[in-house]
Amino acid sequence: MSKIIGIDISKQTFDVSYLEKDKWIHKIFKNQNRGFEQFTKLIGTSDWIVMEASGPYYVQLATFLHASNFNVCVLNPLIIRRYSQTRLYRAKTDKKDARQLPNMVLNMS
C-alpha cells in the first residue's frame, strides 16, 4: 500500500514524517545527495512525497526525487499555513510541519 510522506525542509536537513501501521514515523536526513539517497531507501514508487516550496531549499530534493521517478507534490506554503490555522495548530516545529502535510492530503481526499 502506498503512503503519503510529508517533508519539511531547511538549509541543512529535512524532516520526514509518514503514517505506518497507525503509527507516525519521523526521520531526519541531511539536505544533500547522500541524505537524498538514504531517504529513497524508505520509499516505494507508488508513494507520494509532499513538501512545501520553502525558499530555494526544496528545489534540489524535489528535482532529485522527480528525476528518480518518484511522485512529488510541491505545495504553496500559504496552503499549508491556512490548513494548520483551520486545525488550530499553533506550534511550529519541523517535526509537526512534516506531519501536517500528509494529514492535509489525507483530509482533502
Domains of the chain: 4-108 (3.30.420.40)
Nearest to 49 by CA among 68, 30, 34, 33: 68
User: Tens of pLDDT along the chain (109 residues)?
Assistant: 689 999 988 899 999 999 888 898 999 999 999 999 999 999 999 999 999 888 899 999 999 999 999 999 998 877 777 776 676 666 566 566 667 776 666 666 5
Which whole-number Å values give the CA distances from 16 to 25, 76, 86, in the listed order? 8, 18, 23
